[in-house]
Amino acid sequence: MKNSVFVIIKPGQLIRLLVVLACFITIINVVRENIKPPGIDLQPHNEPPEIERGEFLTWDEVDKIFRRYTNATVVDVDTGLSFRVQRRGGTYHADVQPLTARDTAVMKVIYNGSWSWKRKAVVVEVGGRRIAASMNGMPHGSGAIRGNNFKGHFCIHFRDSKVHQSGQENLAHQMMVWKAAGRFKQMITAMGPEEVIEVLITALDQQDVTLALKTLHKPTDHRRVRLESIVSQISGIKVQRIRSEGGTPETFWVYLTIRYRESSGDIEKKIELQVVDEGETGYRVLIDGLEEILNRKASVEITDTGIFDETDDCN
pTM of the model: 0.82
Which residues have a Cβ under 8 Å from the Cβ of 51 and sit 6 or more positions away? 75, 77, 80, 123
Which has more confidence, 89 or 13? 89
In the chain, the domains with their CATH numbers are: 59-179 (2.30.110), 190-302 (3.10.450.50)
Least trusted range by pLDDT, from 46-60, 66-80, 173-187, 301-315: 301-315
- Residue 30 — pLDDT band, cuts 50, 70, 90? very low
Least trusted range by pLDDT, from 26-40, 137-151, 257-271, 289-303: 26-40
Phi, psi of 31 (to 5 degrees): -60, -45
| Among the listed residues 69, 152, 141, 74, the one whose alpha carbon sits nearest the alpha carbon of residue 106 | 74
Q: What are the beta bridge partners of residue 116? A: 137
Q: What angle do CA 188, 192, 193 make, to 5 degrees?
A: 95
Whether 10 shows a pLDDT value over 80: the answer reads no
CB atoms within 10 A of CB 164: 17
The answer to whether the bond into 49 is cis (omega within 30° of 0) is no
- Residue 265 — pLDDT band, cuts 50, 70, 90? confident
Which has more confidence, 11 or 72? 72
Residue type at 118 in one-letter notation: K
CA dihedral 17, 22, 27, 33 (to 10 degrees): 160
- Residue 296 — pLDDT band, cuts 50, 70, 90? confident
Q: Tell me what pLDDT residue 15 has.
A: 65
Within the chain, residue ranges assigned H as helices are: 11-35, 59-65, 101-110, 171-181, 184-189, 193-205, 209-214, 221-233
Whether 201 shows a pLDDT value over 60: the answer reads yes
Distance between CA atoms of residues 72 and 125, nearest Å:
6
Q: Cα dihedral sign for 6, 12, 16, 19?
A: positive
Q: Tell me what pLDDT residue 36 has.
A: 47
Which has more confidence, 137 or 32? 137
Phi, psi of 124 (to 5 degrees): -100, 120
Which has more confidence, 276 or 52? 276
Least trusted range by pLDDT, from 83-97, 175-189, 191-205, 288-302: 288-302
